[in-house]
Amino acid sequence: MEKEINCVYGSQHTIGTLFIYGDEINGYWYVVEGSVNINKTLQDLDVGTIDIETLEDVDVCTSQEPINSIEDLKRVVDDD
């Protein structure tokens, strides 16, 4: 799945755009637009607006540059 959805994060429930890349077998990598912190979860992310603070991460990685598109996310994750 490659998807761009709305999300909220942080204690103030800041609204953002979430880029998602992956599948239900291997998990979903996700990142908030403009962030360098990439996380992976096994939870279903095909459910409308996501509060990312409620997700359980199984892996993480860090990009050297901010992620501003699904293509940026794919490039970092596929290089790992």
What DSSP string runs through 7-34? Answer: EEETTTTEEEEEEEEEETTTEEEEEETT
The average pLDDT across 15-39 equals 95
Q: Are 25 and 68 in contact (CB under 8 A)?
A: no
Query: Can you tell me the distance from the alpha carbon of 65 to that of 23, in angstroms, rounded to the nearest whole number?
Result: 24
The pair of structure tokens assigned to 15 is: 């609204």
Residue 54, C-beta contacts closer than 8 angstroms, at least 6 positions apart: none
Look at the chain and report how many structural domains it folds into: 1
Please write the tens of the pLDDT for every residue from 37-64.
999 999 988 777 899 999 999 999 999 9
Structural element, H or E, at residue 76:
helix 70-79
pTM as predicted: 0.92
Instruction: Name the average pLDDT for the chain.
Output: 93
Q: Give the range of the structural domain holding residue 61, as residue numbers without chain letter.
A: 2-79
Place of tokens 């761009």: 4
For the cut 90, the answer to whether the pLDDT of residue 16 exceeds it is yes
